[in-house]
Structure 1
Amino acid sequence: MEQHDYILLLEKFFKKKASAEEIRILVEWIRRPGIRDEFNLLCEQMWKDAAVEIDKTVEEDMWNHLQRNLDGAGVLSPKKARWQPVIYKVAATILLPVCLALATYLFVGNINKVSQDPFMVAVDYGQKANITLPDGTKVWLNSATHLSYDAEYNKEERKIYLDGEAYFEVAKNKEKRFVVCCNDLEIEALGTTFDVKGYSDDLSVTTLLAEGSVRVSNQTSATLLKPGEKVEYHKGNRTFTKSVIPDIREIDFWRKNMLIFNSASLADIATTLERMYGVKVVFDSEKLKNVPFSGTIRNSSLHNVFYIISLTYPLTYKLEGDTVRIGSSIN
Structure 2
Amino acid sequence: MNQELLHKYFKGIATISEEEQILQWVDESPENRQAFKKERMLYDIALFTDEKQLRKEDKKARILPMLKWSARIAAVIVVAVSCGFLFRDYQYNKVAQMQTVKVPAGQRAQITLADGTRIWLNAKSTLTYASNFGRADRNVTLEGEAFFEVAKNKDIPFYVNTEKNKVRVVGTSFNVCAYKDSKEFETTLVEGIVDIYAAGKEKPIVRLEKNEFFADYDGKLKKTVLPSYDYLRWKEGLYCFDDSELSHILNRLELYYNVKITVKNKKLLSHRYTAKFKEQDGIEHILKVIQKDQNFKYSINEDKDQITIE
- Length-normalised TM-score, structure 2: 0.67
Paired residue secondary structure (1:288): helix
Q: CA deviation at 1:110?
A: 4.3
Counterpart-to-counterpart distance in 1, 2:77 and 2:184: 30
Residue 292 of structure 2 is aligned to residue 307 of structure 1:
no
Residue 214 of structure 2 is aligned to residue 231 of structure 1:
yes
Distance of aligned partners of 1:104 and 1:309 in 2 relative to their CA distance in 1, 3 Å threshold: closer
Counterpart-to-counterpart distance in 1, 2:123 and 2:273: 22
Residue 147 of structure 2 is aligned to residue 167 of structure 1:
yes
Match of 1:148 in 2: 128
Counterpart-to-counterpart distance in 2, 1:271 and 1:201: 13
In the TM superposition, 1:1-331 aligns within 5 A as 107-108=79-80, 110=82, 113-114=85-86, 116-218=96-198, 219=201, 221-234=204-217, 236-237=218-219, 239-250=220-231, 252-300=232-280, 301-320=282-301, 321=303, 322-327=305-310
Q: CA deviation at 1:111?
A: 7.1
Q: CA deviation at 1:221?
A: 4.6
Q: Is the 8 A contact 1:283 1:326 kept in 2?
A: yes
Counterpart-to-counterpart distance in 1, 2:171 and 2:249: 32
Distance of aligned partners of 1:162 and 1:109 in 2 relative to their CA distance in 1, 3 Å threshold: closer
Q: Is the 8 A contact 2:213 2:226 kept in 1?
A: yes
Q: Is the 8 A contact 2:77 2:103 kept in 1?
A: no
Q: CA deviation at 1:317?
A: 2.3
- Length-normalised TM-score, structure 1: 0.63
Identity %: 27
Q: CA deviation at 1:112?
A: 9.4
RMSD: 2.7
Corresponding pairs, count = 228
Q: Is the 8 A contact 1:297 1:308 kept in 2?
A: no
Cα displacement string for residues 292-330 of structure 1 (whole angstroms, at most 9, x for unaligned residues): 211112222111221222222223222113111112xxx
Q: Is the 8 A contact 2:238 2:279 kept in 1?
A: yes
Counterpart-to-counterpart distance in 2, 1:112 and 1:245: 44
Q: Is the 8 A contact 1:123 1:145 kept in 2?
A: yes
Counterpart-to-counterpart distance in 1, 2:81 and 2:229: 41
Greater than 4 Å deviation, 4+ residue runs: 109-115
Counterpart-to-counterpart distance in 1, 2:230 and 2:268: 28
Higher helix share: 1
Paired residue secondary structure (2:247): helix
